[in-house]
A and B are shown apart, each in its own frame.
Chain A
Amino acid sequence: DAGVIQSPRHEVTEMGQEVTLRCKPISGHNSLFWYRQTMMRGLELLIYFNNNVPIDDSGMPEDRFSAKMPNASFSTLKIQPSEPRDSAVYFCASSLWGDTYEQYFGPGTRLTVT
């Protein structure tokens, strides 16, 4: 079975540009999570969806960040405009709601904003 798929794996962009990160969860999973990993703050949950509906977006740092899940097999995390402090590894994870709660992580997207 294919795991969680993220694209791109690496993204380098200039400050002020729009960045879109993409995620395809494991087929059949109904919960999807976006995390950010930095040296300073570690692993932080940004937002998670259940059945395509955002449940908790309290970790989204500011209005420059937005996330969507238009269907069960696709989600995006958008940063507009990007800033150097957004440089981090962004992980997407998926799981079954109501199961043993194991989250399966994608390989991550390393974002560098110059």
Chain B
Amino acid sequence: AQTVTQSQPEMSVQEAETVTLSCTYDTSESNYYLFWYKQPPSRQMILVIRQEAYKQQNATENRFSVNFQKAAKSFSLKISDSQLGDTAMYFCAHRGEYGNKLVFGAGTILRVKS
């Protein structure tokens, strides 16, 4: 069974600085999908970025980018130029190639300080 591990329960960063959130996963599949979701205090789950395992190029969405290391089964999220609105819980999630089931990590609380 797939598992997703986020080893940083909490992190903080100064506004305008860069922060990296870690995620590792375990799977026996060769193709799969990885996601980062953001959950602000409003509790709405918002997709931040996704990565297909068959793509070598790291995904980027504006200030958000990932470092996908398939051999190491690592999928970290980098937030550049952090903003106060980035304060949220961030979840890493894995989805296998077959089936629609998302497996989430425990989450990392990110606090952006002014």
Contact = CB atoms under 8 A, between A and B. Distances in A.
Nearest to A108: B43
Interface string B20-48: 00000000000001010100001111110
A89 B100 contact: no
A108 B103 CA distance: 18
A101 B106 CA distance: 21
B45 A105 contact: yes
A105 B44 CA distance: 7
B101 A56 contact: yes
Please indicate which of the listed interface residues B33, B95, B100 has the most CB atoms of chain A within 10 Å of its own CB.
B100
Interface residues of B, number: 21
Contact of B91 (A43, A48, A89, A107): A43
Contacts, number: 47
A103 interface: yes
B48 to A, nearest CB: 11
A80 B47 CA distance: 32
Contact of B104 (A43, A55, A101, A102): A43
B95 A101 contact: yes
A41 B46 CA distance: 20
15 contacts: A33-B102, A42-B104, A42-B107, A45-B103, A48-B100, A93-B45, A97-B100, A102-B47, A102-B50, A105-B45, A105-B46, A107-B42, A107-B44, A108-B45, A110-B43
Given A55-B99, A101-B33, A107-B43, 15 more contacts: A31-B100, A33-B100, A43-B91, A45-B101, A45-B102, A56-B99, A97-B100, A100-B50, A101-B100, A102-B50, A103-B100, A105-B45, A107-B42, A107-B44, A108-B44
Interface of B: 33, 35, 37, 42-47, 50, 91, 95, 99-107
Interface of A: 31, 33, 42-43, 45, 48, 50, 55-56, 89, 91, 93, 95, 97, 100-105, 107-108, 110
